[in-house]
Structure 1
Amino acid sequence: MSEKEENFYLIRSDFLPDSMRKTLEVKELLARGKVASVFEAVKQVGLSRSAFYKYRDAIYPFKRVMNERIITLFFHLDDRAGALSNLLTTVAEAGGNILTIHQTIPLQGKANVTLSLNVEEMQVEIEKLMVMIKNIPSIEKVEILSAGG
């Protein structure tokens, strides 16, 4: 776990900046299947894709966070065939529900990967999942970026 302690705040929706409010709208459109892609959703609500990607893992409706246990994990992943697949399979076998995946373009043989997971129905403890992930040969680093719910 990182040294930096994360703080969370409960804030009324009318105080949110437009970009955060619109990010929630995009997430809702995507979750309900009202649009086929992020591009279509951000266009519909009038938000840039970069703003959506900036805020999507940082803002959730209060009711949803209270009903779910969401964690965000960060990895250094070797740039080799099957590496991401092995990671996702391990998470799925543990019962983690993957909400978002973000992978950077590999540089110097490594890619950064961030996963947001709903762990509410996971069959193993988070600590056990971390051990399972650390045992994957293509994973160099694992950190919990945030945990809530």
Structure 2
Amino acid sequence: MAGQKSGFFLVREEILPEAIKKTIKVKDLLKRGEARTINEAVEKMELSRSAYYKYKDYVFPFYEASREKIVTLALLLEHKQGVLSRVLNTIAGDHGSVLTINQGIPLQGVANATISLETADLSIDLEALLDKLRMVEGVKRLEVLGQE
């Protein structure tokens, strides 16, 4: 493992050790102003200060990891008028900046599309935007391909 770059992983919350979950909650308490100091926040969460300091710089919610990043989405869209336009309007409505769009030729009533967008100016977190995009009429599937 020597010389190997560290990476990022998406891990479901339920398999995380309790100390990591509590560290995330402590950071959230501080961010929302529900605790004024680290001491107050760790006491509320029944977490040791040493555990908080051990993990605080290494754990964060998915939406924070995606801030000021370029995110590439893969979509499966129904071949109906206005579907891609509604997707783009949804992104623009929340201040996402579309960098590239690539849409394949529709086959059997659906088309694959990839969209790269910059998230720096998003007015909502990325997870909320993804939920909105999944609800757009004509979006059959949406996946995050990558983040830079």
Q: State the Cα distance separating 1:85 from its structure 2 match.
A: 0.4
Q: Equivalent residue for 2:47?
A: none
CA apart distance, 1:112: 0.4
| Structure 2 unaligned residues grouped into runs of 5+ | 1-6, 9-67
Name the SS for the 1:133 alignment partner. Answer: helix
Give the 5 Å matches for 1:58-73.
68-73=68-73
Cα RMSD between the aligned structures?
1.8
Between the aligned residues of both structures, percent identity stands at 37
Structure 1 position 76, deviation (Å): 0.2
Q: Unaligned 5+ residue runs, structure 1?
A: 1-6, 9-67
- Higher Rg: 2
After superposition, what is the alpha-carbon deviation per residue over 1:58-96, rounded to whole angstroms, capped at 9, x for unaligned? xxxxxxxxxx41000010000001011000000100111
Hey, what's the Cα distance between the residues in 1 that align with 2:145 and 2:135?
19
Question: How many residues align structurally?
Answer: 84
- Number of the residue aligned with 1:87: 87
4+ residue segments displaced more than 3 Å: none
TM-score (norm 2): 0.54
For 1:123 and 1:95, how far apart are their aligned partners in 2? Answer: 6
Offset of 1:104 from its aligned partner? 0.1
State the Cα deviation string for residues 115-135 of structure 1 (Å, max 9, x = none): 000001110100000110011
- What's the CA shift string for 1:32-80, capped at 9, x where partnerless? xxxxxxxxxxxxxxxxxxxxxxxxxxxxxxxxxxxx4100001000000
> Which residue in 2 is equivalent to 1:98?
98
What SS does the corresponding residue of 1:127 show, helix, strand or coil? helix
